[in-house]
Structure 1
Amino acid sequence: MRTPAADSTDAAPSGKRPEAVRPDRVRWPGRLWIALLVCSGVILLDGLENSMIAVSIPEIQRELGMSAATAQWLMGAYILAFGGFLLLGGRFADLFGRRRVLVFAMAAFALLSLLGALIDNGTLLIVSRFVKGMSAAFTAPAAMSLLTTTFPEGPQRNKAFGVFNVFEASGYSCGLLIGGLLAALNWRTTFVLPIPIALLVLVGALLVLPPDPPRTERHRLDVGGAVTLVAGMLLLVFTVSSAADAGWTSPRTIGGFALSALLLAAFVAVERTVRHPLIRLGVLRDRNLVTANVSSALLYGGAMGFQFLLALYLQNLQGWQPWQMALVLLPAGLMVVLIGPKLGGLMDRFGVTKVLMVGLVAFVPCYLLMLRIGPEPDLWTVLVPASLLWGLGFALSISALMVAGTSGIADHEQGLASGLLTSSLQLGGAFGLAVVTAAIVPGTELSMLYPGVIVVLAFAVLTLLAQLMRRRG
């Protein structure tokens, strides 16, 4: 692993050494800011893609004559491919060049966005969404590993992750509002909007990011490992996502978990025997990385469950439109925007662990407030305070988890670490949503939502316990 001093040479495309700057007042040249914006633009696109399509599905279903069950795969296909290919995408970035992988995958993302805006067949649109999810699974870990290898550990990386988190939260929260407005005009505009952003990211990557170093050795792709990993991850994501509909004890769910476990076990067996494994299994013995992955999964599981319950309460029970719910979540986005740029300084001053723990604690009163929801929405004493606490939790904890999970990881495995962390977020979100869906009783009565609130509260407490156990261990 290179030292931070060595990393600083790569950190500034202009050749200026960032380590010479006082840690408490990090200053970057313009080219380095653009490099950060390129990486952040990738995560902005991911947030926009998920949230905008979610509110556009009814219009797409109506125009293309799709059934409700089929239309849900417009989102499900993207999530399935994204979660299934993340680890492979992260490792590809390590092996074949992060900039190279980002450029090719982003070009595919832009092209698929254009195709999505032109397609008139529901099945083809779902297929294009699956392939688009694959391309995003390569761009996300490539961008995140570019960030961690460009900005050395310490004040610079802390500050960079704070900005990165602002774009992540803004993409999702703004996507709900923008998607609702665009869908009211024409759902195809939700496919067009990401294109100029993707092109800006693409041009920025080509102009600012330093070229990948020349490959000193020819990498042989571990085909057996790649096939078993992707098949196992795809099946695992699909099983978790569909468990609520199929039933947790149904043969399909039990069989899906069993088969995905066998495929992932086969992957481990392959990696132990091949000469050039796709993934070095020893990285999974890094305690900080493992704890960060567990915490990320639990945190995102509770967060997605909370959002689902809020949607049921406001849209199903109160009859609100998606854009109105987006306004309720706007304070959360504003919290991230306000805190994100200052997060690096907070982590430098108080330490990553303290910042992380404050963020995780904020989720507990947020979810407790949801136990006070009543027949009429209480905007100022329940919904807005819950939104602010949710935003505070995200602003402090997500970036801190990313910093904790990637610290101490060798540069040549940063893509893998990034892929693992992003995979944990996706699987955790799908699992949390499935558990909350199973906990609530189908219907429209308010009391049926409370068991789901207890579940997301349990997720928040378990996230805290995971971090406390790491500190005591």
Structure 2
Amino acid sequence: MAIDTTTTSSPTVPRPPDSTRLSTRDKLVLFVLCAAQFMVALDFSVLNVALPVLGADLGMSPSALQWAVTAFALPSGGFLLLFGRVGDLYGRRKLFLSGLALFAAASVLATFAWDPASFLAGRALQGLGAAAIVPTGMSLLTTTFAEGPARDRALGISGTLMSLGFTVGMVAGGVLTDVLGWRSTMGLLALFALIVLPLAPALLPESRTPDRPRLDVPGAVTVTGGLLAVIYALSTAADHGFGRVDVLVGLAAGLALLTVFVVVESRSDAPLVSLPMLRRRTVAWGNLGGLVTFSMMSTVVFVLTLYLQEVLSLSAFKTGLVFGVQGVLSVVAGSFTPRVVARLGARRTLVVSLAGQGALVAALLGLGTGGWSVWLATAAVSLASMFHLGAIISYGLTVTSGVPDAEQGLATGLVTSTQQIGITVGIPLLGVLATAADDLLAGVHTVIALDAGIVLVAAVLVAVGLRRRASGAVEAESLGAR
């Protein structure tokens, strides 16, 4: 696969398209890109356990604490598509490095924040940096590693570390807060960024689209505004419910702006999002699978955290151990998922993974008040996470397969937007049913039943959708099924 490189950095060393061996330089490039993705995934969860301590230290009310999460989620999700396209047009490496530098500076600001305003400013800037890092990092990965086994392996490692980062964040957040205080959680992120930042310029090749079409400003404004409004509404609803005026207005405004965005893109000469790309079955159905696996797994983790601590009275440390097992098995899954993809193909792997995740989540309906439920919860969520990891890797491969290098930023922007939106929407849509129930255990069972049902239905829809072919369309074969 051809890559447009500039003389400002070393180009990618050509390799046979079916090569599975990575050179030393490839491994270093992969380390830099995966470390950055891991850092962003860590940021999603590392602060959760620390929120009560943080609020007491900075004088933030319980109702204001949601902004510690929302301030990061808004820019990180809202600007993904825009920054993915900007990287395509003006240089992915350049934007990746800028985002990394911004994330590092923002993490330092959040670490040493002296009041709520300075802390929330740091979180918002972290989110803006993450919005630049994630799509450009994924684009650099998919344009550096040729489509086939090499890319399968690289995306497998990246997907494993992203999944592990979220889990490690939950465990590390509690430990760091207890031992060193809440500021250490932000300091950990600053440390990650400052380790990666000096390595990246010498290792990463520059890449961009060969031509330089103008940026679709109307599309950028409407999609960014729409995503910001929807993410704000859903994040706020997670804590305050859907009855608030600002939540309803946010949802309405977001949906209206996204509708206008579709109209704008259909008429633009240089659209931010290519509607023909969205009509690719691999893109549409692959992203549906990604949206469901992320949103439903984040919901399971949320309700299980409540269940283990509120129903079974486990400490935060023991709860962290449960999810620690989940993280270990995610690493195991990441090591063999590329082999499964090579045997089954990305599309079949996605369907099997969704079905496995749904079935194992359904097993959590057996949770009760006895001590044995800890073992059931640990086993079911850990095994479900292995299938979840398989879905993460295979949906990314499905969506990006057959996409030209010039549009990789757009494709990976869609992939990462799906991840961010999935993590954001699951808890507000389903998790609130558990917290609002008079009987928490009954509420947990309700959420688990709906969660499992949605994943299993999605598995069927994705299987049918990816099997069908549009008349006259040429679709890329599943990666690895050669």
TM-score of the two chains, using structure 1 as the length reference:
0.91
**Structure 1 residues 95 and 329, CA, compared in 2 at 3 Å: closer, same or farther?**
same
Q: Which amino acid aligns with 2:62?
A: A
Verify the 8 A CA contact 1:439 1:452 in the aligned structure 2.
yes
Aligned partner of 1:465 among 440, 448, 460: 460
Measure how far apart 1:233 and its partner are. 0.7
Verify the 8 A CA contact 2:308 2:314 in the aligned structure 1.
yes
Residue 17, structure 1, aligned to residue 14, structure 2: yes
SS in 2 for 1:467: helix
CA distance in 1, matches of 2:124, 2:131: 11
- Greater alpha carbon shift after TM alignment, 177-186 vs 353-362: 353-362
- Greater alpha carbon shift after TM alignment, 74-83 vs 400-409: 74-83
Tell me what 1:192 maps to: 187
Measure how far apart 1:14 and its partner are. 7.4
Tell me what 1:437 maps to: 431
**Structure 1 residues 251 and 151, CA, compared in 2 at 3 Å: closer, same or farther?**
same
**Structure 1 residues 220 and 179, CA, compared in 2 at 3 Å: closer, same or farther?**
same
Verify the 8 A CA contact 1:116 1:125 in the aligned structure 2.
yes
Verify the 8 A CA contact 1:165 1:395 in the aligned structure 2.
yes
Verify the 8 A CA contact 1:18 1:28 in the aligned structure 2.
no
| 1:172-321 superposed matches below 5 A | 172-184=166-178, 185-212=180-207, 220-245=214-239, 247-248=241-242, 251-321=245-315
Tell me what 2:85 maps to: 91
Structure 1 unmatched ranges of 5 or more: none
CA distance in 2, matches of 1:219, 1:15: 25
Measure how far apart 1:193 and its partner are. 1.1
Verify the 8 A CA contact 2:110 2:120 in the aligned structure 1.
no
CA distance in 1, matches of 2:372, 2:78: 40
Residue 169, structure 1, aligned to residue 163, structure 2: yes
Measure how far apart 1:322 and its partner are. 3.0
SS in 2 for 1:291: helix
Q: Which amino acid aligns with 1:348?
A: A
Tell me what 1:452 maps to: 447
Measure how far apart 1:363 and its partner are. 1.2
CA deviation profile, 1:209-257 (whole Å, cap 9, x unmatched): 12346x8765543332222221111001112233355544665444333
Verify the 8 A CA contact 1:8 1:17 in the aligned structure 2.
no
Verify the 8 A CA contact 1:176 1:323 in the aligned structure 2.
no
Verify the 8 A CA contact 1:155 1:345 in the aligned structure 2.
no
Tell me what 1:115 maps to: 109
Tell me what 1:396 maps to: 390
Aligned partner of 2:372 among 374, 378, 397: 378
Tell me what 1:135 maps to: 129
CA distance in 1, matches of 2:378, 2:75: 34
**Structure 1 residues 139 and 444, CA, compared in 2 at 3 Å: closer, same or farther?**
same
CA distance in 2, matches of 1:177, 1:439: 25
Aligned partner of 1:56 among 50, 57, 76: 50
Q: Which amino acid aligns with 1:446?
A: L
How large is the Cα RMSD of the aligned pairs?
A: 2.4
CA distance in 1, matches of 2:193, 2:161: 14
CA distance in 1, matches of 2:248, 2:66: 23
SS in 1 for 2:22: coil
CA distance in 1, matches of 2:403, 2:293: 22
CA distance in 2, matches of 1:321, 1:373: 18
Q: Which amino acid aligns with 2:294?
A: Y
Tell me what 1:341 maps to: 335
CA deviation profile, 1:12-55 (whole Å, cap 9, x unmatched): 967643217x65xx111101111111111121001211111111
Q: Which amino acid aligns with 1:30?
A: T
**Structure 1 residues 237 and 302, CA, compared in 2 at 3 Å: closer, same or farther?**
same
Verify the 8 A CA contact 1:316 1:444 in the aligned structure 2.
no
- Greater alpha carbon shift after TM alignment, 316-325 vs 412-421: 316-325
Verify the 8 A CA contact 2:100 2:133 in the aligned structure 1.
yes
Verify the 8 A CA contact 2:294 2:419 in the aligned structure 1.
yes
Verify the 8 A CA contact 1:160 1:344 in the aligned structure 2.
no
CA deviation profile, 1:61-96 (whole Å, cap 9, x unmatched): 111111111012101211122111111121111111
Measure how far apart 1:450 and its partner are. 1.3
CA distance in 1, matches of 2:12, 2:147: 18
Aligned partner of 1:147 among 119, 141, 157: 141
TM-score of the two chains, using structure 2 as the length reference:
0.90
SS in 2 for 1:53: coil
Verify the 8 A CA contact 2:4 2:210 in the aligned structure 1.
no
Percent of pairs with identical residues: 31
4+ residue segments displaced more than 6 Å: none
Tell me what 1:364 maps to: 358
CA distance in 2, matches of 1:416, 1:329: 33
**Structure 1 residues 247 and 216, CA, compared in 2 at 3 Å: closer, same or farther?**
closer
Tell me what 1:102 maps to: 96
Tell me what 2:474 maps to: none
SS in 1 for 2:47: helix
**Structure 1 residues 136 and 16, CA, compared in 2 at 3 Å: closer, same or farther?**
closer
CA distance in 2, matches of 1:217, 1:158: 28
**Structure 1 residues 320 and 208, CA, compared in 2 at 3 Å: closer, same or farther?**
same
**Structure 1 residues 14 and 90, CA, compared in 2 at 3 Å: closer, same or farther?**
closer
CA distance in 1, matches of 2:26, 2:412: 20
Q: Which amino acid aligns with 2:200?
A: A
CA distance in 1, matches of 2:215, 2:186: 34
CA distance in 2, matches of 1:76, 1:376: 36
